[in-house]
Amino acid sequence: MIFVTVGSQIPFDRLLCAVDEWAGMHKDVQVVAQAGAGKYKCRNIESHQILAPEEYNWYFKNAEVVVAHAGTGVTLTAAEYGVPLIMMPRQVEKGELRNNHQMDYMQYFGEHPGIYPAYNSEDLSRLLDLRGELDCVKAFGGNSRDLVEAIREHIFS
């Protein structure tokens, strides 16, 4: 099962559309999404606007791979559960955010073991096709303080 999460506050229809199109060509793969408040209506994946925390955690830890926006919370959860993480950053140029902090985040953390950057639908499809070969996200020194410190160092360097 593939779990997709775009967060609950900012829509990310480009990501949902890309995964939905991939799922349409891979009907044998279960895909479940926490889709947030976007306008895109998924046709090929099971979509929920929001999931209760226990449901979200269940899908996350039982996923073969997680697909998400480029965010700290999803990174920490992937490290906690030891799940491969494909991240697609929202982009200012596409009207998805007010600044490019997700692109900056991805450029910094995209080389961390188990985190796979997808900047477009082609990257995303290629990585989903490789899902059984992807490594799990490695812990950041064993606790979230190490990740926070790594982010702090990147911001202030």
Q: Residue 31: its pLDDT value, please?
A: 98
From residue 137, alpha-carbon distances to 10, 65, 81, 100 in Å are 24, 10, 8, 23
% of the chain with per-residue pLDDT over 90:
62
What local confidence, expressed as pLDDT, does residue 54 receive? 96
Tens-digit pLDDT string for the chain (157 aa): 999 999 777 889 999 999 999 999 999 999 999 999 899 999 999 999 999 999 999 999 999 999 999 888 898 899 999 999 999 998 767 666 677 777 677 787 778 899 999 999 999 999 999 999 999 998 765 555 666 666 666 666 5
- Terminal alpha carbon distance of the chain: 39
Q: What is the pLDDT of residue 73?
A: 87
Give the residue numbers spanning the domain of 21: 2-155
Count of domains for the chain: 1
The predicted pLDDT at position 122 comes to 97
The domain that holds 147 is classified in CATH as 3.40.50.2000
- Phi and psi, residue 86, nearest 5°: -95, 125
